[in-house]
Amino acid sequence: MSDLLKKFLSGDRLALSRMITLVENQSDQLPAIMSEIHQHLGKAYYVGVTGPPGAGKSTLVNRLIAQGRALGKKVGVIAIDPSSPFSGGALLGDRIRMQDHASDEGVFIRSLGSRGAHGGVSRATRDVVRLMDAFGMDWVLIETVGVGQTELDIMEIAHTTVVVLTPESGDTIQTMKAGLLEVADVFVVNKADREGADKILHELKAMLEMSHAEGWEVPVLKTQAFQNVGVKELAETLEAHRRYLNVSTKLQEKLLALREAELEEVLQESFRQWLKGEIPRRPEAEALRQQVLSGAISAYEGASRLFPLLQGPPAKR
Ligand SMILES: Nc1nc2c(ncn2[C@@H]2O[C@H](COP(=O)(O)OP(=O)(O)O)[C@@H](O)[C@H]2O)c(=O)[nH]1
Ligand SMILES: [Mg+2]
């Protein structure tokens, strides 16, 4: 086991931070790291917080950190910031608010850049969430701007997804088109101090009634994150959803689908690297590949003869 991993497992925050950087940079140490920490996973509760820019997600997350800390939970936060290609590039507002907890050993906050990550954000997020889990966090909060498919993909890792809207979100229908209705386990109408909060609340409730979802009844809560109003109720609702997941088969189904998709993704990436020659090829496999490239045999024949070869022992490097 590497020195870094030992430090990580002993609770060294700097080691956690370094390992997150390895994830961000897609280090080739990654497969080994993720394999090593695997046995330490499964203790943390993953909560996704998504919604339009300016809805109050960061403010709410900041309040949830405080709630968690009051309950004695260790809290990890991942803020996915589309404005920055770099790690640590949190929006100024985020950084200021999150500093409330900067000196708290029970809190670890990290911002992940998403621009330029070439669709690798959801994978990076997944791995960072797991690092925080293995590190011993009780809650891992993931903040993303709910604007597109990438953000919705990110939410797949979350046990519970909170969708934050505001009275200004007005065009609720538009939001639902973006698929937020499907991912939401809890809706929050933040900025309830503003006009129109009840209107959107009722719209959401009506929409949820029409969706005929069975099992968990998606609650719609009102909050005023900046005044810390309704946040305790939100934390209680999160715990209720967590209990629901534990007694129903939902969590198992979710995990199964997630793991299958991930295995496929990792395998595809391995195949891609193999094809591009980034992974050394066994001579027999290389010969077959050449036969396909030269047109001597069909891709079908090449693949059907290659696959069994790939199943064999790895080539000597
Ligand atoms: N009026 C009002 N403003 C709020 C509330 N919660 C947050 N805000 C403000 O909304 C702005 C955006 O908040 P932020 O948390 O950065 O939103 P994010 O982009 O979704 O993370 C900030 O100026 C907050 O102070 C609220 O309940 N009521
Ligand atoms: Mg934010």
> What would the two tokens of residue 96 be?
């200021």
* Residue identifier of the C-alpha nearest atom 25 of ligand 1: 226
DSSP three-state, residue 83: coil
Distance CA 206, CA 212 (A): 11
Most confident by average pLDDT, 39-43, 207-211, 309-313:
39-43
Between 64 and 148, the more confident residue is: 64
Q: Which of 236, 200, 209 is nearest to 71 (CA)?
A: 236
- CATH architecture group of domain 42-247: 3-Layer(aba) Sandwich (3.40)
User: 312: pLDDT confidence band, cut at 50, 70 and 90?
Assistant: low
Q: Which residues contact 302 (CB under 8 A, 6 or more apart)?
A: 288, 289, 291, 292
- Residue with the nearest Cα to atom 7 of ligand 1? 56
- For the chain, the domains span 42-247, 249-279, 280-317
Q: Residues with Cβ < 8 Å from 40, sequence gap 6 or more?
A: 9, 133, 134
CA of 35 to the centre of ligand 2 (A): 32
In the block, which residue shows the tokens 């953000």?
Answer: 151
The distance from CA 175 to its chain's CA centroid, rounded to whole angstroms, is 20
Task: Give the Å distances, CA to CA, from 210 to 98, 114, 206, 213, 217.
Answer: 38, 34, 6, 8, 12
CA 314, distance to chain mean position in Å, is: 32
**CA 276 to centroid of ligand 1, rounded, Å:** 47
Question: What residue's CA is closest to ligand 1, atom 10?
Answer: 56
pTM of the model: 0.87
Higher pLDDT, 80 or 41: 41
The CA 226 to ligand 1 mean position distance, Å, reads 6
In this structure, the residues whose C-beta lies within 6 A of any atom of ligand 1 are 53-59, 93, 190-191, 193-194, 224-226
In whole angstroms, how far apart are CA 266 and each of 30, 68, 120, 122, 317? 12, 34, 12, 13, 21
* For the CA of 164, the nearest atom of ligand 1: 20
199-229: pLDDT as tens digits? 999 988 988 888 777 789 999 999 999 999 9
Centre of ligand 1 to C-alpha 88, Å, is: 21
Asked whether the predicted pLDDT for residue 180 surpasses 50, the reply is: yes
Hey, CA dihedral for 35, 40, 45, 51, is it positive or negative? negative
Return the ligand number nearest the Cα of 80.
2
* Alpha-carbon gap, residue 144 to 53, rounded angstroms: 9
CA 120, CA 278: separation in Å to the nearest integer? 18
Summarize the confidence of residues 65-81 as an average pLDDT: 92
Ligand 1 centroid to residue 54 C-alpha, Å:
6
Query: Could you tell which of 226, 227, 231 is best to mutate to test the pocket of ligand 1, judged by most ligand atoms within 8 Å of the CB?
Result: 226
Q: What is the pLDDT of residues 240-290, one digit of tens each?
A: 999 999 999 988 998 898 899 889 988 888 888 888 888 888 898 899 999
**63 CA distance to ligand 1 centroid (A)?**
12
* Ligand 1 atom at shortest distance from the alpha carbon of 194: 1
Atom 9 in ligand 1: residue holding the nearest Cα: 56
